[in-house]
């Protein structure tokens, strides 16, 4: 049986939240708290990070490689928000933003975006 090639970060776009004045009454919806951070797509094999704007962010958060080592074996793509929590468990966008500015990853005008965490198992990993 022919398997399609595994998905890459170029094949996937981030899922972005949509504003609404009312909650949907039908369908399969998932709601989460809004965390302020960096919206990234993450590939586990090979390890790579991509911003919602398509920029390579692999060097921005090298500690994510070790954090994702507990994932099941295989190639996975995750869509989520990288956040830093303060002492009370609140997301603090200023902490990773200051780190980004120190490392000169991008101009200061970039801002945070919406949050929704999902992961896909690529066809080759099943």
pLDDT digits (tens, 9 = 90+) for 42-89: 999 889 999 888 888 888 888 888 888 888 888 899 998 888 888 898
Q: Which residue has the tokens 């980004």?
A: 100
User: Residues 15-46: pLDDT tens digits?
Assistant: 877 778 888 888 887 777 778 888 899 999 88
Query: Cα–Cα–Cα angle for 66, 51, 13, nearest 5°?
Result: 105
Give the three-state DSSP class for 94: helix
Q: pTM score, two decimals?
A: 0.69
Query: Which CATH number does 34-125 carry?
Result: 3.30.470.30
Catalytic positions are 34
Q: Tell me, what's the pLDDT at 48?
A: 93
Query: Cα–Cα–Cα angle for 55, 32, 17, nearest 5°?
Result: 50
Contact 49, 96 (CB under 8 A): no
């Amino acid at each position: 049986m022919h398997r399609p090639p595994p998905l890459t970060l170029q094949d996937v776009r981030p899922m972005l939240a949509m504003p609404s004045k009312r909650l949907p009454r039908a369908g399969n919806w998932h709601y989460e708290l809004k965390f302020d951070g960096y919206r990234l797509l993450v590939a586990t094999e090979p390890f790579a990070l991509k911003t919602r704007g398509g920029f390579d962010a692999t060097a921005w958060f090298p500690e994510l490689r070790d954090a994702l080592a507990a994932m099941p074996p295989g190639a996975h793509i995750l869509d989520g928000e990288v956040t830093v929590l303060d002492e009370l468990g609140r997301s603090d966008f200023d902490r990773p933003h200051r780190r980004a500015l120190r490392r000169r990853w991008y101009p200061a005008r970039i801002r945070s975006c919406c949050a929704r965490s999902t992961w896909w198992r690529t066809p080759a990993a099943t």
